[in-house]
Structures are given as C-alpha cells and as structure tokens.
C-alpha cells in the first residue's frame, strides 16, 4: 500500500511538537486509587427485570454473537447497556474461545478505568447465560453518527472525526499497555485501521447494499490509497469537501499502515496515537481553508436511510 507511507514517518517525527498535556497512560486501575469500583455480579432474573424480559424495543444493537439492550437496574435505578452473548456461540470449540474472551473482558475492564473506555458495571454468568453490563452512553454509538444519521442530526465534521479516532486509538493503546499476555495486538491494530477508514469514509466495513467491488471497505479503499490523486474519493461525501487535504492524506497514511496484510508491518498503537494526536491537533477551519473538490471517479452515494 503506497499512500505516502513517508507521511506516517513524518507524523512520528512531529511527536515532540505536539502538546503532551494529555497522558493516556495514567493508571486509574484498582491500585491507582482514583474511584475504582469492582464490577457487580448480576443474576439472570435481575437483568430480565432491567430489560422487561428482553423486550425487542429495548434492543440498542446486534453483532455476530451478541445483542445489546438498554436497561434500568432495579436496585440503583441506573440506566445501563446490557450485552447478551449468543448461547449458541458459546458451544463447542468456538464456545471455548468465546467464553475465554468473555472472561478476559470481565477481568480487563474490571480493573481498568480510562476516559476512552466505557466502564464495566457488572456481569452475569448464570447457567449458560453470559452478560456484560456497561454504563449507558446516551449519545449513541459511532455507527449511529456515521451510518445511520437521522435527517435531524448534524453530520460529524472533520475535526470531530479526528478527535474520535484519536480517542479510540488512546483507549486501545491503554488496553495494549495493560494487556497480559498481549496476544492479539497486531490483529487489534488492523481492526482499528478498519474503524479509522469507517470514520474517514462514512462507509461500513462490510456493506452488501453497495455496488459490486465496494462491499468490502478495505478492498475498495486499497487501490485508491495507491494513488495520491484519488485520496479525495475516499473522503465521506457528507463532509462536502470540508477537510484539510494534508490532514486527509496523513489520516489515510495511518489507516494504510494499520491495514497492511502482513502483521509485522503494522505499527504499534503508541505510534498510531502519536500520529493521530498530531493530525487531530491540526484543526480545519472552513471559514479560512478551501473546500476540497473530489477527483474524478465513480463511487456509490451513501444512503443514510438503510442499514
């Protein structure tokens, strides 16, 4: 992938020029003494009450092996997000891995606290049921603001997108710093690269509603990333050209490094944070900076009304 990868090296060289006032490695864990609260253990019945027997209108979202509900804890009246793991996905060899990931997530998030990580309130391991209970985020998910934007909602501008990308990177770096053993770091970096491309393009990682050749975000972006003259075709049309050309190039350079097919070539999250901190610090002012015009090329327009 040839999106000027020298740009990534330039961003690394800019490390000393970025205001280091935000230290993402501050230990806010159990030993850090900054408001640590151990995760609670809930029963299945408690979570059933919280979600009114898992009513369909409480569903916030669904994934391949889980479903997330909005709930209200009877004991504290707190609004929470309750992630229910698919019981079928917990069976057999795949189930062993799923159970391991469940335990790792409980153990990790139980001791880690960070501004860019959602807080784990509790969990449930009742029979073959597995749940994680998180603090509820009333502003919704990133997907809500990128892919399912309602007509009455304001689009995310470039500055906000880079702030979000930097925050996600910092949260992941924090997890990597505390993870033991760090078994899937390079896999996580690839996944972050996909998320960064979603943030820049406004596209879903997999979207079968798009034209042939555009279903897979990374596969669609790769040939465009190889031509510096086509980078503007990657930017979300909803940005309407309101982004810095240099910032777009730099952010895409980071994404390109993260989604390299060879894991050893992918950067460490600490380097990604350094690069994106610089990109996010270069604010775009639409009043004084020119609107970018997309280069020629076809692309399926976005349809915000579909999922």
Position of tokens 């390299």? 260
- Name the token pair of 24: 């993402």
CB 49 within 8 A of CB 74: yes
How many Cα atoms occupy the beta-carbon half-sphere of 189 within 13 Å? 25
Question: In 10 A of CB 282, how many CB atoms?
Answer: 14
CB 217 within 8 A of CB 194: yes
CB 104 within 8 A of CB 158: no
Among the listed residues 166, 226, 153, the one whose alpha carbon sits nearest the alpha carbon of residue 200: 166
The helix-helix angle for 185-201 and 217-225 (nearest 10°) equals 80
- Name the token pair of 212: 């042939």
83 is in an annotated binding site: yes
- Name the token pair of 4: 């000027």
Determine the Cα angle at 84 with ends 80 and 86, to 5°: 170
Residues 103, 121, 109, 199, CA torsion sign: positive
Q: Which residues are annotated as a binding site?
A: 83
Q: Which residues are annotated as a binding site for ATP?
A: 83
């Amino acid at each position: 992938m040839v999106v000027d990868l020298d740009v990534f090296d330039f961003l690394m060289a800019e490390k000393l020029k970025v205001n280091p006032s935000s230290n993402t490695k501050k230990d806010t864990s159990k030993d850090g003494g900054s408001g640590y609260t151990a995760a609670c253990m809930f029963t299945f019945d408690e979570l059933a009450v919280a979600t009114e027997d898992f009513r369909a209108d409480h569903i916030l979202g669904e994934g391949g092996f889980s479903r997330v509900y909005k709930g209200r804890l009877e004991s504290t009246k707190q609004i929470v997000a309750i992630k229910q793991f698919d019981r079928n996905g917990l069976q057999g060899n795949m189930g062993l891995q799923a159970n391991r990931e469940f335990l790792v997530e409980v153990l990790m998030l139980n001791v880690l606290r960070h501004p860019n990580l959602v807080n784990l309130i509790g969990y449930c391991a009742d029979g073959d049921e597995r749940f994680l209970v998180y603090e509820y985020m009333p502003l919704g998910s990133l997907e809500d603001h990128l892919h399912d934007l309602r007509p009455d909602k304001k689009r995310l501008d470039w500055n906000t997108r880079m702030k979000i990308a930097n925050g996600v990177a910092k949260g992941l770096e924090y997890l990597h710093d505390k993870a033991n053993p760090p078994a899937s770091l390079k896999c996580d970096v690839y996944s972050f690269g996909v998320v960064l491309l979603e943030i820049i393009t406004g596209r879903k990682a997999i979207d079968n509603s798009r034209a042939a050749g555009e279903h897979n975000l990374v596969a669609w972006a790769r040939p465009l990333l190889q031509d510096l003259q086509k980078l503007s075709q990657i930017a979300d049309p909803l940005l309407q050209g309101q982004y810095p050309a240099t910032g777009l190039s730099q952010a895409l350079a980071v994404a390109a490094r993260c989604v390299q097919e060879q894991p050893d070539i992918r950067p460490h999250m600490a380097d990604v944070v350094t690069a994106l901190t610089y990109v996010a610090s270069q604010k775009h002012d639409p009043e004084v900076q020119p609107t970018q015009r997309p280069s020629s090329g076809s692309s399926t327009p976005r349809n915000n009304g579909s999922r």
